[in-house]
Amino acid sequence: MVEVKEVDIEKWLNGSGDSGFILFSLGTAIKPQNMKKETLDIFLKVFRKLEQRIICSWDSKGIENIPSNVMLRPYLPQQDILAHPKIRLYITHGGMLSIQEATYYGVPIVGIPFIADQKGNIEDTVFQGWGRIVSWKDLTEQKFSSAIQEVLTNETISMKAKERSILMRDWPTTPAEEVPYWVDYVLRHKGAKHLQSPFVTMSW
């Protein structure tokens, strides 16, 4: 059983039925209160039409007419939610950590990047077959909705996400086994200076 610590969130996700739910998080820098009304309306209009429930990492302050299938919370236990069996899609800004977590849990994505590295991260998932990208500058209701529907209905995209998860998890040792090995390794080799970055000795 997945441990979603907030009881109301867990109950809400468990009750999402066969359609499941979507996780929506654009990181900490992009807040709905700072968006143009037209942009915020695009998100809410698209969400309102979906069969899935949408759980958003957003503060609800100042947001009007929140759709009945949308839950807003300023903080979410993201990894617990990504591990939930009813998750169908992760809508993300494409930060490296977010991509790594989506990969680990085998959740396909729709990415809306804001800065260069995020665009590259999301383009990698598109190339690998388990993600789709929507430009923030060219965001429209039609483009956003189409990307979501493609990921939700294309079984190949979901399968590719699961394949990436299997690849990422396939290691000869567990983290619990590997950590003590490397601690002992550093001790045996007196700090393992050969593994240290040259920047350690830089004067600045």
**pTM, rounded to two decimals:** 0.86
Per-residue pLDDT 10s for the chain (204 aa) are: 344 556 689 999 999 999 999 999 998 777 877 788 899 999 999 999 999 999 999 888 878 889 999 999 988 999 999 999 999 999 999 999 999 999 999 999 999 999 879 999 999 999 999 999 999 999 999 999 999 999 999 999 999 999 999 999 998 998 899 999 999 999 999 999 999 988 888 877
| Tokens 């388990």, residue located | 130
pLDDT of residue 64: 85
DSSP 8-state assignment for residue 50: -
Spatial distance between the Cα atoms of 166 and 163, rounded to a whole number of angstroms? 5
- Per-residue confidence (pLDDT) for residue 175, from 0 to 100: 87
Distance CA(47)–CA(10), nearest Å, equals 20
Structure tokens at 204: 């600045």
SS3 state of residue 60: coil
* Domains of the chain, CATH where assigned: 7-169 (3.40.50.2000)
**What's the rounded Cα separation, in Å, for the pair 144 and 135?**
9
